Amino acid sequence: MLFSYLLFLAHLQAILFPFYFGYKSINKFKYFKNPKLFTWGFSFLGLASFFEMIDHTKTEWIYVNHSSIFNSLFYSFLGLGLTSLSTSIIRNKSIILINYIICFFGIISYWLFGKTIALIFQILISFILIINWQRKFKDWLFIGYPIFGIFFTTFFGIKLSTTANQIWHIFIGPSGTISVFIFYLVLIRFNKKLSKINDKKFFK
């Protein structure tokens, strides 16, 4: 009973926190070319977790490595969320278009070629995001995204698949949430830095 409760909370928080960060991002990061994409990006990540949660209700909350409509929606909105966050700081429209084309192929590849190919596209999307954000922010804190959002979630997922021990399932959602929180913190830190610079220019 306690385990089921913890598992439910682990998935629920993975929905609520991204939506909260999306809400907090509304009209907040005005120094960027596409500030609305931050809100959309966080919200898409929340939707991804929502569809994952629905998918688990079909398997009685036991992790099953399978393909389904809700599992595909999880990967689709995960890709859209990461791509939106990635392109939110880009000005070049051609590069933005390329990013969304990659995201589109990642979405359709799930049904055309299977989950494995879709995962490869997810890795590519994450790799592009890391390059874009590191070039822009140069913030040491951002190293937490590949650690929590990629390494730990993958590690816990592998342990879950290979051992079938559902205890590992509890740790995947919180690891993803930490990585989303890192996105928001990096934006807040950069926003404060730009605010100080502009304040100094104003008082000169």
Q: What is the structure's pLDDT at 22?
A: 95
Q: What is the dihedral of CA 147, 152, 158, 159, to 10 degrees?
A: 150
Reading the block at residue 53, the tokens are 């949660």
Q: What Å distances lie between residue 148 and 114, 140, 165, 166, 168, CA to CA?
A: 25, 14, 20, 19, 14
- Give the C-alpha separation, 17 to 28, whole Å: 17
Class of domain 2-203: mainly alpha
Residues 6+ apart with CB under 8 A from 146: 126, 130
Helix/strand/coil for 70: helix
- Domain-by-domain residue ranges, the chain? 2-203
Helix/strand/coil for 134: helix
Q: 4-8, 35-39, 115-119, 130-134: which has the minimum mean pLDDT?
A: 4-8
Reading the block at residue 39, the tokens are 């809100």
Overall average pLDDT of the 133-158 stretch: 91
pTM: 0.90
Confidence of residue 197 (pLDDT cuts 50, 70, 90): low
